[in-house]
Amino acid sequence: MAATVFADLDAATMQTGAEGYGLIRDAAVAVEDGRIAWVGPEAEMPATWARAPRTGLGGRLMTPGLIDCHTHIVFGGSRAREFEMRLEGASYEQIARAGGGIASTVAATRAATEAELTAAALSRADTLIAEGVTVVEIKSGYGLDRETELRMLRAARAVARQRPVRVRTTFLGAHAVPPGQNADAYLDEVCLPTLRAAHAEGLVDAVDGFCEGIAFTPDQIARVFAAARDLNLPVKLHAEQLSHLGGTALAARMGALSADHVEYASVEDAAALARAGTVAVLLPGAFYTLRETQAPPLDAFRREGVAMAVATDWNPGSSPLGSLLLAMNMACTLFRLTPAEALAGTTRHAASALGLDDCGTIALGLRADLAVWDLTDPAELSYRIGGNPLHRRIYGGEA
Ligand code: DI6
Ligand code: FE
């Protein structure tokens, strides 16, 4: 048996139902065959585990491996010039309508080879991994044609083959209407056939869309979701980011894994998310970059019991944010999450937003995807701005 015991640590288990961090002081975690085989106070560890090789962690803090449940890290080009334009007074929507924005990344992504897209994504994945990320979601959506959407998803799968990280792919063909095309024609002739082709190639774990004035209407998104349902694929949605169009209610009605952004969600939307068990994914990096002023309805989410995840939304336009720890800090400072909510948002609830039930907490039987920090208080993960307190990452039981 391939068993190891990690000991001399404090474990923020993040277990469901536990108070706050589910903290166990002076804990030990036994790992066997890549899974958590026992967790608890070391003094109570059964004698069988006492014979396994023991790795002492010097009293450090252990958390579940972090999960970035919303990224767009496969893309070509850069949008630094648009950052300058926004500082000269142009708005995100104005730039998008003038052919910049998502369309400019689409042009750069179409021009990139699969090897180039993979190399760029690997470097971004490495940045996340260095901060203790063990699962990353990666969306397509900068191709908007069959070949490029497939190429993006293949690049995302390549990341999982070349790095010790789990990748969940999301098809986001309904991200933007390609310049000069009609939205409905694009959906029927390009987006939905591409979804079917990508699914047939085993490239799709979930389906997403952008429900917004500059993208697709709820009716159009409903057609994308119907196609996803026919393929037995779970759905999620960029909803209520810049305005209230009803995407959150649609996502809840369709039993979506998550509704993401949700700054403009209403109290009724919060109740619908709670009833459906749909996770609200908060993306403070986009809120910050776009200098939004409307924060998501946190009080309503809490009152209704909506699970809240936190992610980077790493993309070249609205959130060039390569740090999930900084996203946690921003979620606390900009949205008023508590540090315990922020950590639940990058562990347990992030797993739910991806439909994963084998990771996200330190609990019996789950994957041994763990992060060990040069910290003692778990609030420090959200409190710090910058720096990287990661001591070591354990992926599937391997350090
Ligand atoms: N919402 C966002 O914030 C990103 N995509 C989306 O649907 C922005 C993507 C970009 O500007 O490139
Ligand atoms: Fe996004």
The CATH number covering residue 156 comes to 3.20.20.140
Output the pLDDT for position 32: 97
Does ligand 1 lie within 6 Å of residue 312's CB atom? no
Q: Is the same domain home to 149 and 26?
A: no
Contact 9, 60 (CB under 8 A): yes
Domain tally, the chain: 2
* Index of the ligand 1 atom closest to the CA of residue 102: 12
Ligand 1 close to Cβ of residue 318 (< 6 A): yes
Q: Is residue 277 in a domain? A: yes
Q: Both 203 and 255 in a single domain?
A: yes
Report the pLDDT value the prediction gives residue 384, as an integer from 0 to 100. Answer: 97
Give pLDDT, residue 179.
86
Task: Determine contact, residues 376/61, Cβ cutoff 8 Å.
Answer: yes
- Phi and psi at residue 313, in whole multiples of 5°? 60, 25
Residues 237, 370, single domain; the answer is no
pLDDT score at 253: 98
Give domain status of residue 266, yes or no: yes
Residues 112, 245 share a domain:
yes
User: 346 and 330 in contact (C-beta within 8 Å)?
Assistant: no
Kindly state whether residues 50 and 132 are assigned to the same domain. no
129 plus 163 within the same structural domain: yes
Q: Is the CB of 76 under 6 A from ligand 1?
A: no
Q: What range does the domain containing 20 cover?
A: 4-64+361-394
Q: Tokens 């330190």 label which residue? A: 362
CATH number of the domain encompassing residue 13: 2.30.40.10
Rounded to the nearest whole angstrom, what is the distance from the C-alpha of residue 34 to the centroid of ligand 1?
36
Flag whether 186 is in a domain.
yes
Report whether residue 71 contacts ligand 1, using a CB cutoff of 6 Å: no
In a domain, 339, yes or no: yes
Residue 303, domain member (yes or no): yes
First to last CA, the chain: 17
Give the pLDDT score at 100.
Answer: 84
List the strands of the sheet with 54-64, edge to edge: 35-41, 23-32, 3-12, 54-64, 370-373, 390-394
Residues 12 and 90 in one domain: no
CA nearest neighbour of 44 among 11, 1, 2: 11
E strands, 220-369, in order: 236-239, 258-261, 279-282, 308-310
| Same domain? 379 vs 285 | no
- Name the residue of 72, 94, 208 to mutate for ligand 1: max ligand atoms within 8 A of Cβ: 72
| Claim to verify: residue 195 and residue 308 sit in the same structural domain | yes
Supply the pLDDT for residue 120.
Answer: 98
Separation between Cα atoms, residue 386 and residue 11, nearest integer Å? 23
Whole-model pTM? Answer: 0.97
Residue 247 in domain: yes
Same domain flag for 54 and 71 = no
Q: Which residue's CA lies nearest to atom 7 of ligand 1?
A: 210
Of 372, 268, 317, 256, nearest to 86 by C-alpha is: 317
**H or E element at residue 394:** strand 390-394
Q: Is 40 exposed, middle or buried (0-12, 13-18, 19+ CB in 10 A)?
A: middle
Residue 399: inside a domain: no
Q: Are residues 245 and 367 in the same domain?
A: no
Give the pLDDT confidence score for residue 97 in this predicted structure: 80
Can you give the pLDDT at residue 193?
A: 98
Instruction: Give every residue of the chain whose pLDDT is below 50, as ranges.
Output: none
**Are 138 and 56 part of one and the same domain?**
no
Count helices and strands in the chain by DSSP H and E runs: 17, 14
